[in-house]
């Protein structure tokens, strides 16, 4: 399947899955942070893996939450946030301002990543009836390029295209942008489309 030539209907389906997942994630994060959180997916892009390195600031330091997708549509998920955004979230969760990402903060970010990735996976599972579940999340603080490389390239088993869901959070009148990358193993996106009848 050539992911670079998806039809408008296929992209619309991915956008809808993204929006449902974002809605579920916003509800869960609102409960976790004890404040109203809105989340949307304004853009869905299928990006050649190599292009990610040329289009983003690969030397920019970010916090990445990495989750392995297990089940009918295996792959990897990488959810990225700016470091200051991640520290702000940790501060909200722990009830006091955090200057560095400590072990406790790391655990808090794992929980946020688990909620966000599970919300998207549950949305896909309900729409497609495919069995899918997340692994235990891992958190990395490093340059974007390094996180992408170590997470995905070393595995050598993923398709050359990446599903990039640009995400916007809105909390306390502050818009937070992040990216939610799904790197499918060969055949995983085809299974999603086949299950939805838009192959």
DSSP string, 173-191: TEEEEEEEEEEEPTTHHHH
Quote the pTM value.
Answer: 0.81
Arithmetic mean of pLDDT over the chain: 81
Find out whether 78 and 65 touch, Cβ atoms under 8 Å: yes
pLDDT tens for each residue of 151-163 = 766 555 556 777 8
pLDDT tens for each residue of 51-67 = 766 666 667 788 888 88
Cβ-Cβ contacts under 8 Å for 174 (sequence gap 6 or more): none
The CA-atom distances, in angstroms, between 157 and each of 19, 183, 184, 198 are 28, 10, 9, 25
Number of domains composing the chain? 1
Mean pLDDT of 20-36: 84
pLDDT at 152: 67
pLDDT at 2: 63
Tell me the CATH number at 98: 3.40.1550.10
| CA gap 139, 147 in Å, rounded | 10
| CA gap 199, 178 in Å, rounded | 29
Structural domain that includes position 16: 3-196
pLDDT tens for each residue of 107-165 = 988 888 888 888 888 888 888 899 998 888 888 888 887 887 777 665 555 567 778 88
The CA-atom distances, in angstroms, between 155 and each of 47, 50, 53, 61, 168 are 18, 15, 17, 22, 29
Size (the chain), residues: 199
pLDDT at 95 over 80: yes
Alpha-carbon radius of gyration of the chain: 16
Give which of 101, 95, 96 is closest to 81, Cα–Cα.
101
Percentage of the chain modeled with pLDDT above 70? 88
Cβ-Cβ contacts under 8 Å for 173 (sequence gap 6 or more): none
pLDDT at 85 over 90: no
């Amino acid at each position: 399947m050539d992911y670079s030539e998806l039809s408008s209907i296929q992209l619309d389906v991915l956008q809808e899955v993204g929006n449902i997942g974002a809605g579920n994630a916003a509800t869960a994060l609102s409960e976790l942070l004890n404040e109203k959180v809105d989340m949307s997916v304004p853009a869905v892009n299928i990006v050649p893996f190599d292009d990610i390195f040329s289009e983003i600031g690969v030397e920019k330091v970010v916090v990445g939450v990495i989750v392995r997708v297990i089940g009918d549509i295996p792959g990897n998920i990488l959810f990225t946030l700016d470091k200051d955004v991640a520290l702000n979230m940790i501060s909200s969760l722990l009830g006091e301002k955090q200057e560095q990402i400590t072990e406790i903060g790391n655990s808090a970010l794992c929980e946020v990543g688990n909620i966000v990735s599970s919300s998207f996976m549950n949305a896909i599972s309900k729409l497609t009836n495919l069995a899918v579940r997340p692994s235990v999340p891992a958190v990395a603080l490093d340059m974007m390029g390094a996180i992408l490389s170590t997470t995905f390239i070393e595995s050598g088993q993923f398709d050359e295209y990446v599903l990039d869901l640009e995400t916007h959070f809105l909390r306390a009148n502050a818009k937070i942008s992040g990216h939610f990358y799904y790197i499918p193993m060969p055949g995983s996106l085809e299974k999603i489309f086949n299950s939805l009848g838009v192959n």
